[in-house]
Structure 1
């Protein structure tokens, strides 16, 4: 029941692609993560995935019926990946992001490509 200073929360960890749960809203986690490089192609079959870029830039590559497209999110931008959409977050220069998704949602989705060693398959870590 105390405020969370996001700068302090981000300063408390260095691991990339390993989200920290900073709050819960009903049955949803508010997660923050430091990211750089590429995540993994994955899909969430039953939930949308919300992204807010706090620092840096995040790109989200989407596989759609018409082909692949990249959504570029500069600092301050938000984007929601619709459920059932294959996507791969990418950040060549690094970024700090906030995500909002149902508690227990796996970071690599319900279906995914092979998970590289630098990506953690987790439901988040309580800060």
Structure 2
């Protein structure tokens, strides 16, 4: 996992939810912003992957943003935001392994057919006959 926290910028705002009068006075909600194009930690290929996989989280100016307002303190929200954005980018860069198509073996085919035959016979025996 690459630590690009030096490239992150933060904005605070008033949070909704629990906190009583604290909600009306203190800006506890934290929005973390990261300009992907200006990153020095990732190659152009990695930046393209991030843009493609996280396009719904990237605004028109090219900022990846994430807002956290889970806790009642700004510092805790900031640390959670950093953790989450690092995790999101890390997951986006994971390239899934290609699936190799395989054919069922002869014994697997035979087992499947035998099971079908047994079930068919069982149901046939249930029929009422005169």
TM-score by length of structure 1 reads 0.28
Bigger share in strand: 1
Q: Which has the higher contact order (CA 8 A, sep 6+)?
A: 1
Larger Cα Rg: Structure 1 or Structure 2? 2
TM-score by length of structure 2 reads 0.27
